[in-house]
Each structure stands twice: as structure tokens, then as C-alpha cells.
Amino acid sequence: MDSLQEHGGKSVINRGGRLSFFFDNEKFLGPIMIAPAVIYVLALVGYPLILAFAYSLSDITVGSVDYNFVGLSTFRSIIEEPEFRIALKNTILFTFVSMAIVVVLAKILALLLVKDFKGKFFVRALILMPYVAPISLGVIGWLWMLDSIYSPINWLLQRTGLFGPDFWPMWLGTPGLAMASIITVHVWRMLPLAMIIMLAGLASIPKDIQDAALVDGAGYFRRLFQVTIPMMLPIMLVAVLFGIVFTATDIIIILVLTRGGPYDSTQVLVSQAFYIGIDAGDLAGGAATALFLFPLLLAVAILMLKIARRSEVT
């Protein structure tokens, strides 16, 4: 009996030793822990990206049953179209104007909300609501507020008397106002996320540095531009990078509000790729249009990460 117990104890110890060897081994445990994320990214991003590359080099359509390789002719035909150049210009304008406004407003809100005051929790929750609520529902609400007939924004502006009794702009029917409208809605959508990242950056700054600058007689703006912003620069660049990627690939706001109109004044590359590839059934043209974003965003990501790494080192 004792020998059996001793033998069983040894087997348990040996089994536990083998398990501990695997779970304590970084070379084995690391790949196991990261494997689900890698599989998820490959399935959700890698496979569609490879499929888009394959489609863009062919003449495939929705009704095609054969794959015909045509090389770069699809890209050349798309570049020659004036609609593509308009969409590319609108994408750059929409992305960089939106991000400039988001970064400035997020920085201001973060500096305000880092202070202690009554109702701070309520204000933070109120600012986070646009990002918590479903984007489609929020944009539908904006569609009603910017309506050409029932717009409460126009009604309030008219009642103020600042613009005259006949003031009733067509927010989504005039090219310039339509672009301003989608930029405004996108800023409303992205501001909470950028503000949270900025708050995290402010919280990471050691209070001793701020106190030392204050003791040395540095004023508010000197501390802001010589202490706060330089120390937050890596985090701000990451926020800008995420914002550029999200903005350049956003399609919900444009589809709900303007559908690219009027006169393609709000058409961007992602919406044009959707209309070409899905609505028109030209899968090759839609894939080629969407892939123009890939080198642009890759270059921006590499540049932002290099600047962020350099600022961390210095």
C-alpha cells in the first residue's frame, strides 16, 4: 500500500513537473498565449487583404466564375478617372482637417478634466456618450438635425437673429457645407477616444516635474509647451495615428449623411470602393480603389511610429 502511494505520488510529481516545464517555458508559453490573437488578425484582416490584392489584379465581377489576370490595368484605369482624384482629395482633406480639430479639442478637454471640480464624473460620462452609443444611431440623429426642412440647428440659428430671418442653409445639399457637416460629425465621434488617450498621457507625467517647473517660475503656457506637450508627444502621436486610420477608413458617416454627394463633394476612397465593388458589382475596381489607402496609411504609420520612438529616446 505504501509503495503504491509512493508510486502514485511520484507519478503526480512527474506529471506536475512536465506541466510546469511547459507553462514556465517562455518559448512554449509565449506562442500559445499570442496564437489566438494572431489567428484572429489573419482571419479578419490577412485573408481579406490577400483577396483584395488578388481581385485588384484581375477583371473579376460579381457574376464572374473565372479568374483572369490583367496585371495593373485596373489600377491604371481607376487613376485616369476624375472621380478617383476627387475622392482622393476629399479623403486627404477629410482626414487631416478632422484630426487637427480632434487633437486640439481633445487636448483642451483633457487639460480641463484633469482638474478636480464638482460634477467631474458627470461631465466625463457626457463626453464619452458619443463613443459609447452605436455609431449608426448617432449619425441618424445628426441626419435629422441637419435635415433641410426640420433642422433644429437651423431653427435655433434663425431664432437668434444673427443671420437674418431667411437664413436656412442646406447643410447636406451644398458641397462646402456637406464636407463641413461630415467633418463636424466625425469630430463629435472621435473626440471622446482622443480625450481618453490624452488624459492617460497627462496622468503619466510625474507631478514632481510639474512642481519643479512651477517653483522655477514657469508660467502656464511655458509649462504647457515646454513640459506637458513634449512629455506627451509619444502618446499624442499614437492617438493621431489611430485617428488617421479610423478617419481614412470610416464609411458609416458618409453613407448615412451624404452617400458621397452632392456632386461627389464628400466622396472618399472607402465609399467610392463600396459603390464600385458592391453597388456596381465591379469587384476588381472596388478592390483596387480600396488598396490605394494601404500604402498611404502604411507610410503614415511608419512615420508616426518613428517620430514617437525618437521622442521617447530623447
User: Which residue has 496585371 as its cell numbers?
Assistant: 71
Angle between helical axes of 175-203 and 120-132 (0-180°, round to 10): 130
C-alpha distance from residue 91 to each of 250, 275, 279, 303 (Å)? 10, 15, 20, 19
Q: pLDDT value at position 17?
A: 55
pTM of the model: 0.81
Query: Is the pLDDT confidence value at 13 over 50?
Result: no
Helix and strand numbers (H, E) in the chain are 16, 0
Query: Rounded to an integer, what is the distance from CA 279 to the centroid of its chain?
Result: 25
Residue predicted with more confidence, 234 or 179: 179
User: What does the pLDDT look like over 214-227, one tens digit per residue?
Assistant: 777 777 777 777 77
Residue predicted with more confidence, 48 or 314: 48
Query: How much is the average pLDDT of 57-66?
Result: 84
Sign of the alpha-carbon dihedral angle for 304, 136, 102, 228: negative
> Where in the chain do CATH 1.10.3720.10 domains reside?
72-313
Nearest-angstrom CA–CA distance, 293 and 297:
6
Query: Is the pLDDT confidence value at 116 over 50?
Result: yes
Residue predicted with more confidence, 143 or 46: 143
Q: pLDDT value at position 227?
A: 76
CA end-to-end distance (rounded Å), the chain: 69
Query: Is the pLDDT confidence value at 1 over 50?
Result: no
DSSP 80: T
Query: Is the pLDDT confidence value at 281 over 50?
Result: yes
Nearest-angstrom CA–CA distance, 168 and 153:
9
Q: Which three cell numbers stand for residue 125?
A: 460620462
Sign of the alpha-carbon dihedral angle for 49, 52, 57, 58: positive
Q: Which amino acid is at 248?
A: A
Q: Which residues contact 293 (CB under 8 A, 6 or more apart)?
A: 91, 248, 249, 269, 270
Residues 55, 284 contacting (CB under 8 angstroms): yes
| Record: fold of 72-313 | MetI-like fold (1.10.3720)
Residue 126 backbone dihedrals phi, psi, to 5 degrees: -65, -40
Q: pLDDT value at position 12?
A: 45
CA Rg value for the chain: 27
pLDDT band at 4 (very low <50, low <70, confident <90, very high): very low
Q: Please report how many Cα atoms fall inside a 13 Å half-sphere around the Cα of residue 217, on the Cβ side.
A: 0
Q: Which three cell numbers stand for residue 9?
A: 505520488
Q: Which residues contact 83 (CB under 8 A, 6 or more apart)?
A: 264, 267, 272
